[in-house]
Structure 1
Amino acid sequence: MTPDIVRYGELRPCKTAFIDAHTPGSDQKENFTIIGGGVSESPDQHVHIAKPHGFNIGAAGQPPKCRNSLHSHRTAEVFFVLSGRWRFFWGRWGNAGEVVLEEGDIFNIPTGIFRGFENIGTDYGMIMAILGGDDAGGGVIWAPQVIEDARDHGLVLGENGKLYDTKKGQSLPEGVAPMPLLTDEELTTFPEPTTRDVVPHYVARYWDMVALADRKPVKVIGENGMLRDKPGFEVDLVTRGSASEAMHSHDRPSVLMPVKGHWRVFWDGGEAVLAPGDTMSVPAGLDHGAVPSMTGEAALYHVIGTDDPAGKTWTPE
């Protein structure tokens, strides 16, 4: 058993992954599927590690002023900022609330709301994503205006969840209807929480997590985490102060994702150095450990599945 490693420099982007790939303002984004099948609507999307983990790992890379259109998922969607400065917004029209995230910050977006995001930095930025479930909830639910705008720019989404590009002469296959727009009645089921409703319970700031992880890893997302939730996986942050040479293993695959510094990961028979943007899948039952390999700031996210269903975000009593 040896880990699978996807290097940042080896990531293969897809520029036609979703329905807004031709829509001005969204047509320069790059999507990455690192672990699991993801939710791409395009056959062009490359999957780096296909084996199931109980969750999916992906990423979005965007130049400044590029945005991802309003959509929703049936399972959890968690982002942490790898590079750049990002504005997240939500609601039917994207004006119910918003928050700006810096490098290392993490956002456990409530399920059942429309959300979008844009790079408001001055350079190309990257956000890493964790999606609940092996099938990531069965796809993306788009706000009606996104589907209408896409159609005006040549992309049609079929009810089978696949994209067809009329600019390339493609059309819906016989027997496949366009993806229906949500009705007014259906749209009433999507909440419109304010910034005050969301940020205190779903956003964790990098430096707050670092302060709490000075002696042992801090549980960021979990039943007893900083962000109390049970989305089918847990997320911890490990820092230089809380890293240990002790070997350990898990009964299911886990994932290591550095956000700051270089990390030496070692296991029986091998070792590797991970840098920010790299993703390592550690097999179940493999004894391993991870420590910073250089001086300076160091932090990494650790993700592992749980037995909780990958459904609607759990709200504590």
Structure 2
Amino acid sequence: MTIEIIKPARAEVLKGVARFKELSGVSTGLPDMELPSCNRTFYNVLGFVQPKGEEEYSPFGDAVVPRIAHLSTGFGAAFVKARPGCGVLMHAHDTSESFMPVAGRWKVEWEGAEGTTGVVLDPLDFIAVPVGVQRRFECLSAPDGESEGTLFAIISGEAPVVEWSPEAVAEISRHADARHLAAEQVAS
């Protein structure tokens, strides 16, 4: 096999640079992001393209256009920032997902044969979670002098499907019901 070698212009290669300070974060869109324990900000670097079919959609809408949008790599890469105690509810993807803390300590939990278990990751530690495994992550601590930790996430596929655990669906529903009730009380 011979790989075709290309020699792009510098400007073309620089389209593949994403500077964190230039990324736009999104803190709404996913069903659990309104829960106090799930407040987080998602910074899309690469991938996570909008689904094209009528049966699938992105809850983020157009707010998560990747910073590097011209390459089709077969995976998505993003940063997540969260305060200690915040993360994501238990969910599964139809693709594998990997995590590496950049700042702070993070816990990754999953549902296994023996029940829910997990691992604590320090900066630059890495975990790859297989396809179909219910998983969640949570910031345990931020670096000294900072209010949030930063996690780097890589997910295979460019439009992965998510399925929330039954417990996550119930918690999201309870929060939505409480929010609806509070709105009704304010309106009356």
- Tell me the matched-pair count: 155
SS in 2 for 1:5: coil
The list of structure 1 runs, each at least 4 consecutive aligned residues, that deviate by more than 3 angstroms after superposition, is none
Q: Spell out the pairing of 1:23-102 with structure 2 (5 A cutoff).
A: 23-26=35-38, 28-37=39-48, 41-43=59-61, 44-51=63-70, 52-91=72-111, 95-102=115-122
Partner of 2:157: 133
- 2:60 alignment partner AA: S
Contact 2:49 2:65 in 1 (8 A): no
Q: State the partner residue of 1:106.
A: 126
Q: Which runs of 5+ in 2 are unaligned?
A: 1-11, 51-57, 184-188
Structure 1 or 2: more helix by fraction: 2
Q: CA deviation at 1:36?
A: 1.1
Letter in 2 for 1:119: C
- How many angstroms does 1:95 deviate by? 5.0
The 5 A counterparts of 1:1-317 are 1-3=12-14, 4-26=16-38, 28-37=39-48, 41-43=59-61, 44-51=63-70, 52-91=72-111, 95-122=115-142, 123-136=147-160, 139-154=161-176
Shift of 1:166: 6.8
- Superimposed CA distance per residue, residues 27-80 of structure 1 (whole angstroms, 9 cap, x where no aligned partner): x21112111125852213342222311111112110111121101111110111
User: Higher Cα Rg: structure 1 or 2?
Assistant: 1
Cα 1:154/1:115, change in 2 over 3 Å: same
Larger strand share, 1 or 2: 1
Answer whether contact 2:25 2:42 (CA < 8 A) is retained.
yes
Q: Supply the distance in 2 between the matched residues of 1:108 and 1:25 (Cα, whole angstroms).
A: 23
For the residues of structure 2 that align with 1:73 and 1:58, how far apart are their CA atoms?
16
Q: 1:18 to 1:33 in 2, by over 3 A?
A: same
Q: Could you tell me which amino acid in structure 2 is paired with residue 128 of structure 1?
A: F
The unaligned stretches of length 5 or more in structure 1 are: 156-164, 170-317
Alpha-carbon distance between aligned partners in 2 of 1:104 and 1:125, rounded to the nearest angstrom? 13
Provide the alpha-carbon RMSD of the alignment. 2.5
CA distance in structure 2 between the aligned counterparts of 1:126 and 1:38, rounded to whole angstroms = 22
SS of residue matched to 1:47: coil
Structure 2: distance between partners of 1:67 and 1:149: 14
Structure 1 residue 140, shift from structure 2 partner = 0.8
Q: How much identity, in percent, do the aligned residues show? A: 26
SS of 1:148's partner is: helix
Quote the offset at 1:154 in angstroms. Answer: 2.6
